[in-house]
Structure 1
Amino acid sequence: MAHPSTKPSHPTPPPQQQPTAPDAVPEPKTHTHIPKRLILSYLIDWILIIGTALTGYAFSTLPPNHHPFSLTDANISLPHKKKDTVSTAVLAVVSVIAPAIIIAFLWEWNVGWMGLGIAVAGTYLATQGLKDLYGKPRPDLLARCDPDVAAVGGFAVGGLGGRVAGAPTMVTWEVCRNPGDEVRKDGFASFPSGHASLSFAGLMYLALWLCAKFSIGFPFLAYSPFSQDLRRQDRGSIRNQGAAPPVYMLIVAFVPIAVAFFISASRWFDYRHHGFDIIFGSVMGMVFAWIGFRLYQLPIMRGAGWAWGARSREHAFFMGVGLPSHVAADNWATVGDKSAAENRARDVDLEMARPYRMND
């Protein structure tokens, strides 16, 4: 007896291939080619950052202007300490090398280093240039100088000493019997404080960078508290839109700032700088740190820890007259062709923290 056939009496036709839509979006490629033009653009950036630092070093080798001083000035009569509490080598390690290593161990090291480089190199150049320009005597200048008090008259350049009782006599640095670089160069380098400016440039940048990466900041609302949207909301629900980060995260963020304050304060109790020199250097370092951070990183509480994207190939080197504004959506990073009205609408929505929709 024959076995029944296992084949179906009505075989299933093969599945028909679905037509491909003409406007179907292709699968994104997993490998992204970086244009050589863009690589060259960032290579030039690094060359300029390193060149800025080298220019600052060149300034540091030059003798500064020598501001005349009085041998009776109490502000420059403090004792001279042979060793700094924070040496220049320790300053470089703490303010530059350590932040660079921390950034490299986490992520986005290239833009992280570029921001750090701009902050530190710009601060270093400005600090050394101002030191040479001002030539302000240090608080311990007279201890370094060992002036020849018997020959004061031969080096007098101002003041009414000798003609009015109690009036000071302003003399030049040649009155010093110590003609070495300790007096000729370093003795007139009080303004601004390099330790203060560089420590805040590197460590404040690191603090901002850590706050961005770990979302350490004050709770905030996306809209103005006086807007109609919030007025329609329940007050109890508004307070649940934000919360303070844990205190240990604040410690992580503020440790670099605390170290910078300590380094700056050490220049006061080491008698190396006047108070204003330290304050000015600290503020200058903070300014450069903020510039370096904001050039490459999104705002701390609105950027989710990410850096800005790379420049586009078309805008790798130049944006001239007639090209889109840097405050519009089609800036250095945009390669698409969008209308100005659409860009302005997108910018408004971004500033108000609302999603942009074409049909709004």
Structure 2
Amino acid sequence: MAAAARSLNSFAFGVRHVSKRLVASYVIDWILILATFAVGGGLSKVHGNKHDFSLQDPNISFPYHDDTVTVPVLIVIAIVAPAIITAAISLLFVPGPTADRKTPRALIWRRKLWEWNAAWMGLGVALSGAFVITEGLKDLAGKPRPFLLAVCDPDLSPESIRRHQVGGFGSSLDSAVPIVVDWHICRQTDQGKLRNAFASWPSGHSSFVWAGMLYLCFFICAKFAVQIPFLLPGSDSQRYISTFDEETDGDAKPSKNSQSTSSSRIHPPRNQAAAPPIYLLIIAFVPIATAMFVSISRWYDYRHHGFDIISGSILGIFTAWLGFRWYHLPIQGGAGWAWGARSRARAFWLGVGRPGYVGDEGWEAARSGTQLEDMETGRFVTGPGMADQRQSTDMAASDRV
């Protein structure tokens, strides 16, 4: 009971000393992410351009087909599932085995909550970026979908063709040369359905699902070290490859040559890293397989041309990478952590001449004046203060008593 009370007091102490300026900067970041979603939603309702088309084009003559992956299902796959999984990982597996067992519970929960916040902010950047860019490009391009003619229901009378013809040298449907007409030839009365028939490029399902699923894949790989084994840069180990390194029998005496090579234990390159378990690779691949299935479904549903799906996938891959790297260390060598918070004086603006958004003033309020302690090493630190990683000296000491 007393320990719980001390943890609560420690957590409250930390919250009181966090800079309000810093908190406000991250609140504004969240507002901008949500506002980007809102802009994308607005663009999805805009009646944009409608590209002219040929009545004899076989690429837009496919039948209308219902979605295999509907929009509600897409939202569950691309938003809800990554949000739940990243939150669960942040709350259940952070801070991990590197944290000191004597670390106050309040400090551990601050790290958990920060990792959760960073996970969702990165996901928000990935999804909102893909959404707004995709919808904006759809409005500008106005590219016909493969089922355009089925939805358009064009008036094929000679008078109507002559009235709406904008290009081509054909004079009738029997002509060997194409007849290019504008969208006014369509008899479709549902304007929303007609607008959607001119929204083929890029594929929104592809961009959105790749943004969410690839971000989730990156997140899983980072947290559980699912990566191709690599040699740490700057290692002082001797660079050689031997048949038998440290595997010799313990009673065997080293040769004079080996004794003179080095006085310290040698770790050959092949023993500096190892491949992760295959089941982790399979888990990390599940989001990729899901994104591939959703993307391919747009092809056999006659919703998009191949180029549209490829373009949307590339867009989603880019925003997923951007969202992940904006808030997380690289997967290789980053130990699965998110970047810490910005410093107090650099919460909104960096200015010319400063190398980054972390400074010696830390994250605490200007009047706190407390010394900070690293969560994992237990050493006092100066420099970038991270509310998720640090604890004031006096509160940490009281928790350890």
Name the TM-score class by shorter chain: 0.7 to 0.9
Q: Any conservation in 2 of the 1:99–1:206 contact (CA below 8 Å)? A: yes
Is 1:223 equivalent to 2:254 in the alignment?
no
Partner of residue 196, structure 1: 206
RMSD between superposed Cα atoms in Å: 1.9
Within 5 A, what are the aligned runs for 1:177-326? Answer: 177-223=187-233, 232-235=239-242, 237-322=268-353, 324-325=354-355
Is 1:52 equivalent to 2:36 in the alignment?
yes
- Quick one: distance in 2 between partners of 1:156 and 1:231? 76
Is 1:159 equivalent to 2:172 in the alignment?
no
Partner of residue 98, structure 1: 81
- Quick one: distance in 2 between partners of 1:117 and 1:38? 19
Secondary structure of 2:63's aligned partner:
coil
TM-superposed deviation, 1:306: 0.9
- Quick one: distance in 1 between partners of 2:239 and 2:71? 58
- Quick one: distance in 2 between partners of 1:265 and 1:272? 10
Partner of residue 6, structure 1: none
- Quick one: distance in 2 between partners of 1:180 and 1:171? 19
- Quick one: distance in 1 between partners of 2:148 and 2:193? 7
TM-superposed deviation, 1:209: 0.4
1:88 to 71, 74, 82: 71
- Quick one: distance in 2 between partners of 1:232 and 1:101? 44
Within 5 A, what are the aligned runs for 1:12-161? Answer: 31-32=13-14, 33-81=17-65, 83-107=66-90, 108-150=115-157, 151-161=160-170
- Quick one: distance in 2 between partners of 1:206 and 1:174? 43
Q: Which amino acid aligns with 1:146?
A: D
Report how many residues are paired.
299
Partner of residue 347, structure 1: none
Is 1:332 equivalent to 2:357 in the alignment?
yes
Partner of residue 176, structure 1: 186
TM-superposed deviation, 1:232: 4.6
TM-superposed deviation, 1:181: 2.5
TM-superposed deviation, 1:162: 2.4
Computing the radius of gyration from Cα coordinates, the structure with the larger value is 1
Q: Deviations over 1:96-131 (max 9, x none)?
A: 011101111121211100000000001000000000
Secondary structure of 2:345's aligned partner:
coil
Q: Which amino acid aligns with 2:124?
A: G
Q: Any conservation in 2 of the 1:141–1:183 contact (CA below 8 Å)? A: no
- Quick one: distance in 1 between partners of 2:169 and 2:39? 40
Stretch deviating more after TM superposition (302-311 or 29-38): 29-38
Secondary structure of 1:283's aligned partner:
helix
TM-superposed deviation, 1:182: 4.7
Q: Deviations over 1:230-270 (max 9, x none)?
A: 66545452111111111100011010110011000000000
TM-superposed deviation, 1:293: 0.2
Unaligned runs of 5+ in 2: 1-9, 91-114, 246-267, 363-401
Secondary structure of 1:149's aligned partner:
coil
Q: Any conservation in 2 of the 1:193–1:277 contact (CA below 8 Å)? A: yes
- Quick one: distance in 1 between partners of 2:50 and 2:73? 28
Q: Which amino acid aligns with 1:159?
A: G
Q: Any conservation in 2 of the 1:314–1:335 contact (CA below 8 Å)? A: no
TM-score, L = length of structure 1: 0.79
More relative contact order, 1 or 2 (CA 8 Å, 6+ apart):
2
Q: Deviations over 1:73-94 (max 9, x none)?
A: 011001101x210000000011
Secondary structure of 2:120's aligned partner:
helix
Secondary structure of 2:167's aligned partner:
strand
- Quick one: distance in 2 between partners of 1:100 and 1:249? 19
Q: Which amino acid aligns with 2:311?
A: F
Secondary structure of 2:344's aligned partner:
coil
Secondary structure of 1:55's aligned partner:
helix
Q: Any conservation in 1 of the 2:126–2:323 contact (CA below 8 Å)? A: yes
Q: Any conservation in 1 of the 2:155–2:186 contact (CA below 8 Å)? A: yes
TM-superposed deviation, 1:299: 0.9
Q: Any conservation in 2 of the 1:138–1:188 contact (CA below 8 Å)? A: yes
TM-score, L = length of structure 2: 0.72
Q: Which amino acid aligns with 2:358?
A: A
Tell me the percent identity: 52
